[in-house]
Structure 1
């Protein structure tokens, strides 16, 4: 009897997860590693630092307006370029819609 109990205790079947081990209803969760915790903490610290930089700008509003599209010299160059483009365009002489259609239809072509 004691031998039977000893053998039964030593040969107890281990309970296993039915189906896929890490998916579904009876899943086993992988333990969270220290490196994953440190990565999450570093990410949160980086986000906090970015928020601090965005909320406390280094440049004042006047200094910031001096760069980019608000810079006066850049605007002068753009306006000069636009004026040059307008001056170089060739405009057609005044024509009526009928003349335009006649030219596109080839009404004046000869069959020779």
Structure 2
């Protein structure tokens, strides 16, 4: 599936914020910091909590934003509509953590188009 993703500037801060999926349980975050918040399109009334997706960047408005041949496994830990830092583009399907975003794309981009599979 092809969707849009954006990066939240403050999804992880020095003070963890409660998530829609797991509240303040810090064990919800993978040690790799490859996690995301689900947009309304895949949120499914919270059923997406804990789901894992293989994600890769396929395009962006700025050429050479995507890192070629880079695919990551992310875990859904929150709902994009309720994260402290709102998605940078309307209709965002997945809001990636800064680590996840920077692993598949140039971290200076505000949004990318992704392909993902559960």
Q: Same fold per TM (> 0.5)?
A: no
Whichever structure has more helix as a proportion of its residues is: 1
Coarse TM-score class (shorter-chain normalised): under 0.3
Highest RCO, 1 vs 2 (Cα 8 Å, sep ≥ 6): 2
TM-score after normalising by structure 2: 0.13
Whichever structure has more strand as a proportion of its residues is: 2
Larger radius of gyration: 1
TM-score after normalising by structure 1: 0.13
